[in-house]
Amino acid sequence: MFRLHLIPYGTKFDIIGKSKCIFFIAGVFVITCFSFIIFKGMNYGIDFKGGYIFEVTMPTDPDIQELRNTLNSLDLGEVAIQQFGTNRDLMLKLEKSEEGEGQATAIKTVKNVLGDNVVYKRIETVGPKVGGELVSNAVKAVAFALIAMLLYIAVRFEWQFGICAVAALFHDCAIIFGMFAIFPMEFGETSITAVLLTASYSINDTVVIFDRIRENLRRFKKMDLGELINLSLNETLSRTTLTATTTVLAVLSLYLFGGRTIATLALPIIVGIIVGTFSSIFVASPLLMFLNIKRDKEIKDTTVANINIK
């Protein structure tokens, strides 16, 4: 039976030997991302900056691309259009313009572009206060997810594994958030989904590798810890890379053929999968070298020593 292996079994990459160099590179990326977030700021979308939301039903099937181009050409600010329900049901999000007459002018302009016989189900204004609450809730969601994962890993393995897993997740989330600050990409509600998906994908890979490390700790009680972690990483490397590759190919098809709305969600997920795979292999597991993991033999020796003292 044919089996696909991107990396052959029996590889002996010295990942632990290169860990200090890798940590330096990862640290530079994280510091760079935080610098852009602090000094440049995030490129917030309409959901966070505030704006206008229109829910309408068109009299005929609309040409979404033509409608988007027309609205963008009017210099009304950022415009997002998506279909929901039937082909004629649209949701339009328009970036908030100036106060006072500017609001009325923007809404009137949108109505003129949409034309007659349009049914307006909802026209709402999203203020900056609501946008601030969304930012706060997004940060809390990511923080709670990291804490929950820390507790899960600490209970399933040991606290050292939990610390390493969360450090890797912190690395992943920092890079994803930084991507929205460095590049001209809109950070909206779907971006939070991409961050949480990255965290969940990364922790899944990390748990698989940690499980192999724990298994090898029981099998090879006298093997050097660095050698044992290297062995565990090489044994799971084929599975990790193959899973990441197939997932990236699936999401890449959404990015290329799913349209603009789907692409804004797919791109950060693609980057997140790559970053999450990197951190699972090169960050989370090598960090175990610095947290004094107790081997079964050490635990038994400590127990015996305590009994003799008593």
Q: How much is the mean pLDDT over the chain?
A: 79
Task: Tell me the pLDDT tens digit for each residue of 137-169.
Answer: 777 777 787 788 778 777 877 888 888 888 888
Residue 266 has pLDDT above 80, yes or no: yes
Domain positions in the chain? 16-42+130-299, 51-126
**pLDDT score, position 31:** 94
DSSP string, 221-262: TTS-HHHHHHHHHHHHHHHHHHHHHHHHHHHHHHHHHSHHHH
Residue 131 has pLDDT above 90, yes or no: no
CATH number of the structural domain 51-126: 3.30.70.3400
Count the residues in the chain: 310
More confident site: 206 or 6: 206
Q: Name every residue whose Cβ is closer than 8 Å to that of residue 30 and which is 6 or more positions away in sequence.
A: 170, 171, 174, 175, 178
Residue 49 has pLDDT above 90, yes or no: no
**pLDDT score, position 54:** 82
Q: Which of 266, 248, 272, 128 is nearest to 196 (CA)?
A: 272
**pLDDT score, position 26:** 92
For the chain, how big is the Rg over CA atoms in Å? 25
What letter would DSSP give residue 18?
G
Comparing 18-22, 215-219, 293-297, which segment has the lowest mean pLDDT? 293-297
Q: Which of 81, 87, 66, 76 is nearest to 110 (CA)?
A: 76
Task: Tell me the pLDDT tens digit for each residue of 182-240.
Answer: 887 878 777 888 888 888 888 888 888 988 998 888 888 888 888 899 999 988 888 88
**pLDDT score, position 14:** 86
Question: What is the identity of the amino acid at 286?
Answer: P
Task: Tell me the pLDDT tens digit for each residue of 50-64.
Answer: 677 888 888 888 888
For domain 16-42+130-299, the CATH architecture is: Up-down Bundle (1.20)
**pLDDT score, position 100:** 44
